[in-house]
Structures are given as C-alpha cells and as structure tokens.
Structure 1
Amino acid sequence: MSAPFDVRHRIRWKASVALAGVLASPTAAVWAGSAPLDIVTVVKRIQDAALRRSFAGTYVVSHGGHMTSSRITHYCDGRDQIERIEALDGQMRQVYRHNDTVHVFWPGTRTALIEQRELVGRFPAPLQPGDGTRLDQYELLPADDERIAGHATQVVVLRPRDHLRYARRLWLERRTGLLVRWDLLNERGEVLESASFSDLQLNVKPSPQTLLQEMHRLDGYKVNKPVYTATSLDSEGWTLSASVPGFEVRRTVRRPMAPGVARTAAPVGSAASTTGEPGATMLQAVYSDGLTHVSVFIEPFVATLHKREVPATLGSTSALSRRNGDWWITAVGAVPVAALQQFVDGLARRKP
C-alpha cells in the first residue's frame, strides 16, 4: 500500500473496503412489536446480524461522482467470519477477510496485501466500554420504512449533535437487523456517499473451506505484509493537546512506509535515514467515536514530497495534511474537514 501522504490513494483505499435527505423529527425509533430503541441497541443489532448471518449479494457504492459494484459472499457460524469481496468494475481486485485478517489480491499485477482490518476501520466500530457515551454525539431519529433489494427494512437516521461528524441514514433488514444500505449526509442533508445491496440473499450456505483456500492461495503473488508495532503517541514523544469531542484513540502503531518513500524519507536517527535502505516507518493513530474512524499519520517531512496542505476530498472521505517542524501530519476520515483540522492542529511534539 502506498504511503499515507498519497492522499488520493488513501481515500480510495478507505472507500473500497468500507463496507444517514430530510431528517425526521425526534421521536423514538421502534421495531415492529418491540420497545423503543436507543442508538447503542441499534448499533449492537447491526453488529450481531453480521456476526450471526451468512449472506451473498451485489453491493454498490456511490461517492464523489463515481460508482463501483462488488460481489460479496459472507459466511458466519457465530464465531468465525469469512468474507470474499470481488470488484466488478475497474481493475480486478479480490478482498478476503477471516475475522480481522484481510487479504487483498490484484490478479492483473500478481500482487497481494495482507493487513489487519482494525487499521482500515469498519462501520460500525466494535463497541467498547464508554462507547455509549461517545455515541451520545448522535441523535437517533426514525424515518419511513422502505424496501431495499426486495427486503423490508426499518430506516433510522443518526444525526450528529455537532459539526465534527456526518449524519447517517441506515436501512436495517427488518427481521435480522442486517445493514443493507447506508447514506452519509452533510449538514444540508445532501448525500455524500451511499452504499446499498442491489440484490441480497440471506441465510445462504457458502463453503468456508473453499473461501479460506482461495484466501491463502498466494503462489505466484508478490505479497506485501506490513509489520506493525504497537506503541502510543506519548511513548513516541507526541501528545494531542486538546481531545476532539467524542473521539478516543483505539490503536497506535508504528508501520512501514512504502519502499520508494522509505529510501527518501526515513525517520531521523534511524539506520534507514543514513543508509538509504528500506526500513523507514511512520506512526498511525486510529481514533473512533463509536461509528466512524479517523486515522492520523505522522512521518518525517520531505520537501520534495510533502507540498499540499489544503484538504483533499473524495465523496465523504477527506484528508488534511500539515507540516509540524521536521514532521508531516496527515489526518484521514469520513468526517468534516473541521474535525480533521482539530486533529492536525492539536498534535504537538512533547518537550523533553
């Protein structure tokens, strides 16, 4: 994968594996024959459906004036999740996931990437202690029910209480709670990004053994398997001077830079910085508010590479970069630029 300062590639990557307009008045959302729900219950229902249901279908994503479609096969037995996503448009690409391990294949170039999903982000983010409070940054509103891909759905809107996140409109299959469509809306109710099944089969029975065999068929491929080292901003000499409301750091890692960049932009003081050999690394801190993610990357500043400080946006995903002394900081996420601004402005090098 290319380095995070390649903003367009980073935005497209997040859009490719990211698998809500008029906002209703605030009243309690209710499933048929059930009690009113809160936002935590809705999020748990979506997650439980993905953990307990096998399904297959065609998934269409529209963002930034572009539309892509993929064929998804999802297997789950209540413990393991195995998934295959085949791109139907553009360059051939196959994505396999076994729980949190992701294999991405590009058959045309015979290259493959193995990465952990928690660094890519997911929706909704896995619930952790304290997320109920962070989810209070959104208000749960009901909307009119609709049929999607032949399935009756319950529709809800998650409206943000501030300007640091987007609204989401969600379509949940009424019986199972499976998320079959979602829209991301700006403050004017305009759709920034939309993803939906155009056809969907529930309770299919794909062969997990076949999917795993395909996932691990790496012969003939040049495999990139980045090694991540768990760390923290504090131990790396950084601090976020003011927390961004609702967001909490989920993981911080030191990760390798792209080989071509590593020879040019090795960390100050590293062996790679003096020898010009691969081995340069950067920091990635992943933040979440319980629904969406923001990744913050910190890497050495290189004048010939790092020139763009204005925001770049594709659909709902934006990136903002800023020089900080000898360092280049980039924040990327499906959030308004105002949120990214708080991340890049708040990061400071800790005094010795």
Structure 2
Amino acid sequence: MSPPFDVRHRIRWKATAALVGVLASPMPVVWAGSPPQDTVAIVKRIQDAALRRSFVGTYVVSHGGHMTSSRITHFCDGRDQIERIEALDGQMRQVYRHNDTVHVLWPGTRTALIEQRELVGRFPSPLQPGDGAQLDQYELQTGDDERIAGHAAQVVVFKPRDALRFPRRLWLERRTGLLLRSDLLNERGEVLESASFSELQLHVKLSAQTLLQEMHRLDGYKVSKPVYTATTLDNEGWTLHTPVPGFETRQIVRRPMAPWIARTAAPGASAAGASGDTTTMVQAVYSDGLTHVSVFIEPFVAALHKREVPATVGSTSALSRRNGDWWITAVGAVPVTALQQFVDGLERRKP
C-alpha cells in the first residue's frame, strides 16, 4: 500500500529542500595536502569545498528503482554564492539560491516560492556538524581512491555506533574535497539511496549577473512568500521529555501548512479543544551532524489524518501519530526506530 498523500507530500518536499540545502552550510576552513582523517574535519572540508568552488554538473539521485537528475550551476567568488538547480525529469522546476534567499520556480504553472533559508536553519542540509559533538555517534573508515565523473575521489564511510542512524559512504574529490557521491546504506550494507555527479566541470567561469537576472525574472508568476516565525517547544506548549541520543535541536519554527492541507482542514474539522489554527504548523529540526529529522506538530483533522504506520519514499521514512488534539509526524532519512523515539518522546505540557 502506498503512503497517504500528506506523507508523500512532506517526504517529497523534504527531498526537494535537501537538494537546495546540500551546498548551503558555511564552514570556512582552508586545507592543503591530504584530507584529515577526522570526522569533524572531513565534514567541514566537504562544506568548505561547496562554498569556495564554482562548478557545473549533472546530479543524479537513485533509489528503489527510480532515478531523477538535475543540472547544478554553482557560482562562488568568496563573498556571494549563487546557484541554479534545474530538474531534468518530471515537472519543470528551477531552484535559485543567492546566499540565503531561495526562489523555486515552476515555469509550467507560472508559480514561484520565495524563502529565506536562515529562518529555518537552512533546512534540511545533511551536513550540519555544529561543534562536532554529535559526530561521536559515527566511526570514520577510509577506503581506496576511486573515480567519480572523471575525478579522483577519496572514499570515506561514516559507520554509526547505534541503530538510530544509517551508514553513509561518501566520495570526496581528492584535491578540493567537493562531495561527488553519497550513498545511504542500511544495516546490511545495501544501498538505500545514491546521489552522484554523473559529470562535473570544476573551476568554470560563470556570470553571477546572468544567474541573478534569471532568478528575479518573475513577471507573470504567482509568487508565494511563506512567513516563518522562530519559536520553542516550550512556547508552543510541548516538551521532548527524553532527548534522542546524538540529535540536537537545530531550529524550531511555526510555518504555513501546505495549501492542500489548509484547504482540507475546513473550519471546525479539527478535534475539539485544538487551537483552531489550521493554517500553520510547528516544525522542529534535529540533527546529528550528518542527517536530520523534522518533527511536525499540527492540529488533528479527522478527514485528513488517518494513517499511523510508517511510510517510506526512497531513503526517507515518516511516522505519524495522534496525540490528543494534535497530529505528530516525524520525517527523516533514519531508521524508523529513531522516528519512534521522537514521536513517543513528544509530550503536551500541562497548563
């Protein structure tokens, strides 16, 4: 049985946001010679390479027999970052990012979404080491060099020390540290999802002005600018009574519901005693340094919220559960046991 539309929508939205955020987290470190053999240093090197290099390439993501590809153009001059990500499969979609401002354009429907990434903690960047403490949950293993998209690459594996996260195998461009390929593995070492450049040009000369002009060419588009408000679980009347080992809070915001949810949740549809606000939800983002989990808290709507068993799309799973007048959904590229701990650990604070 396929997962319900609301879960599929969140999982796919999460995957799209991940592609925007994968090149977005600043960690300014300069390296020379061989890459360091340390978990935090490796992650910082990957981030730094994405920030300091201009490149153009085709990026392919495959999982469960499905494959999607995008064309990435990334400009960096040491001050500004500008990138364009064009979906090459399915519905035409273009994602532009100028530093923390992101424009998502759907030319076929002439609609556009404009967001400020820092308001949601650059959600959901998969590389967020913070002070590096969380990366203690992984053991670093190194392998022999291989070739990816015509470039020599160092292979590193982040092996988890518990059952709350998946192993990750990464290929780093030998000279720059740019992430060329990433495999997410299950506990048996089988590939759940693979994302890789199929071709890549480094050190290309790009026109920042051309990319910016494209980004702001919105005549005739219906533009949406969702508003995010920083908040805390305590302010929203919640608490995570048992922290999930290795995961730290990255950001908590109150954000708009997806439009189709707001339309479905007609006035009076939520359970008695709920806030009645069916236009916004709370999103809490947690990270262990390599992956993240998002927890959504929204008013329960009987016509909409029916499935409490796990659902999976590609490497990303979702687990939903009713909690009184509320509906809790945890989403992440982690084992369901980790999502279970987030959902079970969230409690409504007594008045």
TM-score past 0.5 threshold: yes
Equivalent position of 2:350 in the other structure: 351
Q: Within 5 A, what are the aligned runs for 1:18-29?
A: 18-19=18-19
Cα–Cα, structure 1 residues 78 and 32, in superposed 2: closer, same or farther, change >3 Å? Answer: closer
Question: TM-score normalized by structure 2?
Answer: 0.89
Q: Spell out, residue by residue over 1:285-309, the C-alpha distance to the aligned partner (whole angstroms, 9 max, x if none).
A: 0111111111100000011100011
Q: Report how far residue 64 of structure 1 moved.
A: 2.7
Q: Report how far residue 46 of structure 1 moved.
A: 0.4
Q: Is residue 299–residue 329 contact of structure 1 (8 Å, CA) maintained in 2? A: yes
Cα–Cα, structure 1 residues 151 and 140, in superposed 2: closer, same or farther, change >3 Å? Answer: same
Equivalent position of 2:222 in the other structure: 222
Q: Spell out, residue by residue over 1:271-327, the C-alpha distance to the aligned partner (whole angstroms, 9 max, x if none).
A: x65xxxxx7211000111111111100000011100011111111111110000000
Q: Is residue 155–residue 171 contact of structure 2 (8 Å, CA) maintained in 1? A: yes
Cα distance in 2 for partners of 1:96, 1:224 equals 15
Cα distance in 1 for partners of 2:54, 2:146 equals 22
Equivalent position of 1:156 in the other structure: 156
Cα distance in 1 for partners of 2:242, 2:175 equals 43
Specify the code of the residue in structure 2 equivalent to 1:151: H
CA RMSD after TM alignment: 2.0
Cα–Cα, structure 1 residues 225 and 64, in superposed 2: closer, same or farther, change >3 Å? Answer: farther
Q: Spell out, residue by residue over 1:37-73, the C-alpha distance to the aligned partner (whole angstroms, 9 max, x if none).
A: 1101100110110111000011111023210111100
Q: Within 5 A, what are the aligned runs for 1:188-227?
A: 188-227=188-227
Q: Is residue 274–residue 326 contact of structure 2 (8 Å, CA) maintained in 1? A: no
Equivalent position of 2:285 in the other structure: 286
Q: Report how far residue 181 of structure 1 moved.
A: 0.5
Q: Within 5 A, what are the aligned runs for 1:99-110?
A: 99-110=99-110
SS at match of 1:79: coil
Equivalent position of 1:39 in the other structure: 39
Cα distance in 1 for partners of 2:242, 2:94 equals 40
Equivalent position of 1:124 in the other structure: 127
1:342 aligned onto 2:341 = yes
Cα–Cα, structure 1 residues 259 and 60, in superposed 2: closer, same or farther, change >3 Å? Answer: closer
Q: Spell out, residue by residue over 1:173-232, the C-alpha distance to the aligned partner (whole angstroms, 9 max, x if none).
A: 000000011100010000000011111000111111111111111111111211011100
SS at match of 2:172: strand
Equivalent position of 1:24 in the other structure: none
Cα distance in 2 for partners of 1:248, 1:79 equals 29
Cα distance in 1 for partners of 2:324, 2:243 equals 21
Q: Is residue 51–residue 79 contact of structure 1 (8 Å, CA) maintained in 2? A: no
Q: Is residue 35–residue 42 contact of structure 2 (8 Å, CA) maintained in 1? A: no
Cα–Cα, structure 1 residues 221 and 43, in superposed 2: closer, same or farther, change >3 Å? Answer: same
Equivalent position of 1:236 in the other structure: 236
Q: After superposing the two structures, state which structure 1 stretch, 261-270 or 73-82, moved more.
A: 261-270
Equivalent position of 2:253 in the other structure: 253
Q: Report how far residue 35 of structure 1 moved.
A: 7.5
Cα–Cα, structure 1 residues 152 and 260, in superposed 2: closer, same or farther, change >3 Å? Answer: closer
Q: Report how far residue 18 of structure 1 moved.
A: 2.8
Q: Report how far residue 255 of structure 1 moved.
A: 1.0
1:76 aligned onto 2:76 = yes
Specify the code of the residue in structure 1 equivalent to 2:45: R
Q: Spell out, residue by residue over 1:4-33, the C-alpha distance to the aligned partner (whole angstroms, 9 max, x if none).
A: 9811012122223434xxxxxxxxxxx996
Equivalent position of 1:27 in the other structure: none
Aligned residues: 329
1:60 aligned onto 2:92 = no
Q: Report how far residue 128 of structure 1 moved.
A: 2.1
Equivalent position of 1:180 in the other structure: 180
Cα–Cα, structure 1 residues 336 and 316, in superposed 2: closer, same or farther, change >3 Å? Answer: same
SS at match of 2:143: strand
Gaps of 5+ in 2: 20-30
Gaps of 5+ in 1: 20-30, 274-278
Specify the code of the residue in structure 2 equivalent to 1:110: R
Q: Report how far residue 269 of structure 1 moved.
A: 6.8
Cα distance in 1 for partners of 2:329, 2:103 equals 25
Cα–Cα, structure 1 residues 139 and 38, in superposed 2: closer, same or farther, change >3 Å? Answer: same
Q: Spell out, residue by residue over 1:68-87, the C-alpha distance to the aligned partner (whole angstroms, 9 max, x if none).
A: 11110001112221110111
Give the share of equivalent positions with the same residue, in percent. 81
